[in-house]
Amino acid sequence: MDFAGYVRQQSALWYATLGQEAGAPVPLRASGLDPVGTLLLVAPHPDDECLMAGFALRAVEEWGTRVIVLPYSYGSKVDRRQERHSELMRAVASLGFELFDPRQDHSLGELSPGDLARALAECIPDAVLFPHSGDGHPTHIRCSRQVSEVVTLWANSSRKRVHLFESAYWQDLPDPNLMVDLTSDHVIRMGSALLEHRGEIERNPYHLSLPAHLIDSRRKGVERVSGMGSRAGSGLFAQLLRHSVTNSGAS
């Protein structure tokens, strides 16, 4: 069975148990979000752009958002970095996003604050998607803190209002305030792109746990975002985020 069949089987079992059919995801506008013209997705590692992609895919569909992936690092294994860059290019193309990296040498280490500032000045995003500061992996934590600091400085200096969307993978968000519904097709696109990271998948076939991660995110989100005791509804998959806006002083 391929990945798409694997996801559809889980979805079919869920809806057969409920005795109903899958409905359309809740529109992003229902959460009171402003449309996003350009979204900068800062991926701590090549593969995180796939694991974090749910909201970005929804934004493309609902708002026509331009999604730009900025790789924060290419991993700790220097001899794998060029290969991981190639895997990243294929994954980003599979998702229908763009790739931007101010570094010319992909064997280098983590993105510097100056590199991030140059990326912001070049891409001029309306929103930035990145891991939260307690995401349980040292690289994710460094990425989060740097992005938060540099984006805030850039937004203030440019007097631009920037939406911040913090995601979770290694450690739950302590205070999510946004649940983004995902369909089976979204999960299939995320997992299919993840399979482009062949070296990582060979080490650990973690694409198989992606649907479970998104199912559990929806279970938690129904209670933690919608309110304790809320009805689960018919959705199966979701991404949990924390949404905030920089206080840039812009009018």
Rounded CA-CA distance 235/1 in Å is 24
- 249/251 Cα distance (integer angstroms): 6
Provide mean pLDDT across the span 34-60: 97
For 3-23, what is each residue's pLDDT tens digit?
A: 999 999 999 988 888 888 777
The average pLDDT across 34-62 equals 97
pTM, entire model? 0.94
Domain ranges of the chain: 3-245
The burial of 26, by beta-carbon neighbours within 10 Å (0-12 exposed, 13-18 middle, 19 or more buried), is given as middle
pLDDT, tens digit, for every residue of 125-156? 999 999 999 999 999 999 999 999 999 999 99
Q: Which token pair is 36?
A: 């996003």
- pLDDT tens sequence across 75-118: 889 899 999 999 999 999 999 999 999 987 777 889 999 999 99
CATH, domain range 3-245 = 3.40.50.10320
pLDDT score, position 249: 52
| 223-232 tens-digit pLDDT | 888 777 667 6
